[in-house]
Amino acid sequence: MSNNPEANLSSLARLARRLSANPTFMAYVLAAYASQENLKEDELAQKLGISQEDYVRLAICKRPSATQSGFARGVRRVAGYVQADAAQLALIIRQVNSLENLTSTPSQAGWLAAARDREGQTETEPEDSENDD
C-alpha cells in the first residue's frame, strides 16, 4: 500500500465492496443489514459508533462464527478492532443470521405438505381403527 492514507482507504473501500458478496466477511453482513433497514453506510457507521474509515476496516474483517461458543468472542474481537459498540454489532449480525436462516428453510408448501392428513382419512377417523367390523 502507498503512504497516502486516502489512497489506502479508497483501496480498502473497493475491497470491501467486492467482499459484500461473500457471506464470510463483515462487508456482507453490513450490506445485508443496511439493505434490510434501508440505511446508508454513514448511518450504519454512526449506529455502530465508528468513523467511516473504521467502517471500511470492519467490512474487511471475517464474520464471527455463528456457533454459540465462538460468537461472543468473535464479536468482541471484531468490535474491539474498530472500537465499535459490541452489543450493537452483535444485534446486527444476529438479525442478518436470523433472516438468512428464515430464507433458507423449506418453503411453506413443504411445511404444509408434511401436515396434511393421509389420503382417504378424515379428521374424525382414527389412524388405526380397532373396530373393523
Query: What's the CA gap between 122 and 117, in Å, rounded?
Result: 7
Instruction: Give the 3-state secondary structure of residue 24.
Output: coil
Query: What's the CA gap between 93 and 24, in Å, rounded?
Result: 12
The domain segmentation of the chain, as residue ranges, is: 5-97
Nearest to 51 by CA among 41, 60, 61: 41
pLDDT tens-place string over residues 45-71: 999 999 999 999 999 999 998 877 789
Round to the nearest angstrom and report the end-to-end CA distance of the chain. Answer: 87
Query: What's the CA gap between 28 and 60, in Å, rounded?
Result: 9
In the predicted model, what is the mean pLDDT of the chain? Answer: 83
